[in-house]
Amino acid sequence: EAGVAQSPRYKIIEKRQSVAFWCNPISGHATLYWYQQILGQGPKLLIQFQNNGVVDDSQLPKDRFSAERLKGVDSTLKIQPAKLEDSAVYLCASSVPGRGGRNEAFFGQGTRLTVV
């Protein structure tokens, strides 16, 4: 079974530039998550999709971050403009919804973003 694919693996940009990350979840996984993991901290949920609808984006800085999941499969996360504090690893995960939250999330390798 193929895992969660993310690209690029690394990205270095200057502040105020824009950047986009791509995620392809495991086939059949209706739930897709984007997490931000700052060095020394645990993953923080940015946005959660179920199919192509957003079910939680309460911690997404909407003035600069946006995400979409067209057709309920692939997803992109964009930052525009980037700030120094956005330097982090951006993780994409997917899972099968339901079963009362018992299904594990499967994670991609992440994209390490450095803003200089």
Partner 1 sequence: AQSVSQHNHHVILSEAASLELGCNYSYGGTVNLFWYVQYPGQHLQLLLKYFSGDPLVKGIKGFEAEFIKSKFSFNLRKPSVQWSDTAEYFCAVTSSGGYQKVTFGTGTKLQVIP
Which three-class secondary structure state does DSSP give residue 39? coil
At its nearest, how many Å lie between partner 1 and the CB of residue 18?
26
Choosing from 45, 66, 74, 76, the residue that interacts with partner 1 (CB under 8 A) is: 45
Amino acid at 43: P
Told to check if 9 binds partner 1 by CB under 8 A, we report no
Residues 89 and 9: their CA atoms lie apart, in Å, by: 9
From the centroid of its chain, how far is CA 42? Answer: 14
* Nearest residue (CB) to partner 1, 71 versus 102: 102
Report 69-108 residues binding partner 1 (CB under 8 A): 91, 93, 95, 97, 100-105, 107-108
